[in-house]
Structure 1
Amino acid sequence: MINVIHQDQDLLVVEKPHDLLSVPGRGPDKQDCLISRLVEQGFDSALIVHRLDYATSGLMVIALNKATHKALSNLFQNRAVEKSYQALVAGSTVYDSGEVDQPLRCDWENRPLQIVDYEWGKRATTHWQVLARDADHTRLLLRPETGRSHQLRVHMQWLGHAICGDRFYAEPLGLSLSPRLCLHAQSLAFTHPSSGAKIQFHSDCPF
């Protein structure tokens, strides 16, 4: 059962569990996804606006009609949606906050992995801030300025502190610290396409 934290005539805001596709993949074994589960819960008109990685949990906004889908898609394209994530990363960062501005592209020989590429990569910027530290890992607040595939995961790896449990980018220590990817989309804020009101949502971090 997908937890719906907001519902009106135009859109839903939901919490995607980790290890669940946002949309169906290829093959019969990849049909279970967020959208299919929402349809099973009675939201037949649910339309995907943006995605979270299979391993990432947290907030997603879902359109319930084509007009809202177009309006929300424009908000994301124009970077008018404020998003923040919580992450646990391996080790302890030297500084308390910072910015990673490293261009990314797909690593075609190792898809779906992404890599930093200064010649062909697309601009990608992530702001980060320490929330807490302990012996093995650091809890960070991440605010992506852009929305590239695997952006937060690659940027944390580039920083030298891969996200705990990241089967694509973490070193053995980071993998050993958690059985799941410790990345959670904790907040969303945007202007409602119909009312024009600024709305914001929060989801408690599960790790």
Structure 2
Amino acid sequence: MTPLDIILADDDIIILNKPAGLLSVPGRYIPESAFSLLAEQFGELHVIHRLDRDTSGIIVFARHKAALTHVQQQFEKQKTRKVYESLVIGQLKGNWGCVNLPICVDWPNRPLQKISHVNGRYALTRWKRLAQDAETTRVEMYPKTGRSHQLRLHMLNLGHPIVGDVFYAGDSAKEQPRMMLHARELDFTHPGTGEALQIVCPTPF
């Protein structure tokens, strides 16, 4: 395992640039995760939010319960600003758009999720096209909510699954070294100092 890319570590929080392929928290059969590796180094740790295993980028952990509550409430009340960057398959039409489709667990096919207007929870993603070539489109995405697999499903619903997405992009994903989805920017208020943090982690693809 290569050394973790820690962006910030103080008495209240740890901000990590999580690599693709590393779980955010331990799985049933995979104990190694960003959480477990950081806990070995720093001790007490609390989960504020998660990134999918195959998504890289900014993830924040709390070092005590007061920090956990402070930052978690910012996520729950949608007071954070999140920006993701991705490559999707095909030429996405338009320069910008919005996907508002509810999401729930696809129980027979877990851990997959699905769009459901009956059982789904509200999920909203705004997107902007950055660049395009004959085979892919580079997209910036601004999720208002944080549902599991939200960006992956919303891009799939537009007809443009994320490059390398082993769950939703079919056999083409096997040809890719990773899923091309990165949590690039995160703005939130520091739980100890009250400082407005604007974290940027450049996209590695």
Same fold (TM over 0.5): yes
* Whole-angstrom distance in 2 between the partners of 1:180 and 1:16: 13
TM-score normalised according to structure 2 size: 0.95
CA distance in 2, matches of 1:34, 1:108: 26
| Displacement after TM superposition at 1:46 (Å) | 2.1
Q: CA deviation at 1:176?
A: 5.7
Q: Could you tell me which residue of structure 2 aligns to residue 35 of structure 1?
A: 35
Counterpart of 2:18, as a letter, is K
* Aligned pair partner of 1:202 in 179, 200, 203: 200
**1:36-185 → structure 2 map (5 Å cutoff):** 36-40=36-40, 42-173=41-172, 175=173, 178-185=176-183
Q: Structure 1: how far apart are the matches of 2:14 and 2:38?
A: 10
Amino acid at match of 2:190: H
Code of the residue aligned with 2:177 in structure 1: it is P
Supply the distance in 2 between the matched residues of 1:150 and 1:15 (Cα, whole angstroms).
Answer: 19
**Distance in 2 of aligned mates of 1:186 and 1:31:** 26
TM-aligned CA deviation for residue 39 of structure 1: 2.4
Q: CA RMSD in A?
A: 1.2
Q: Deviations over 1:89-113 (max 9, x none)?
A: 0001111110000111111010111
Write out per-residue CA displacement over residues 151-188 of structure 1, whole angstroms, 9 at most, x where no aligned residue.
00000000100000001111444x26622110000011
Deviations 1:27-52 (A, max 9, x none): 3xx10100111123x21122211100
Q: Determine if the alignment matches structure 1 residue 12 to structure 2 residue 38.
A: no
- Secondary structure of the residue aligned to 1:72 is helix
For the residues of structure 2 that align with 1:4 and 1:167, how far apart are their CA atoms?
Answer: 27
Q: Deviations over 1:42-65 (max 9, x none)?
A: 211222111000111100111111
DSSP-derived class of the 1:6 partner: strand
Shift of 1:194: 2.0
Equivalent pairs: percent with the same residue?
Answer: 43
User: For structure 1, which segment, 142-151 or 163-172, has the greater mean C-alpha deviation from structure 2 after superposition?
Assistant: 163-172
Gaps of 5+ in 2: none
Alignment check: 8 A CA contact 1:164 1:177 kept: no
TM-score between both structures, scaled by the size of structure 1: 0.94
Question: Does the 8 Å contact 2:166/2:174 carry over to 1?
Answer: no
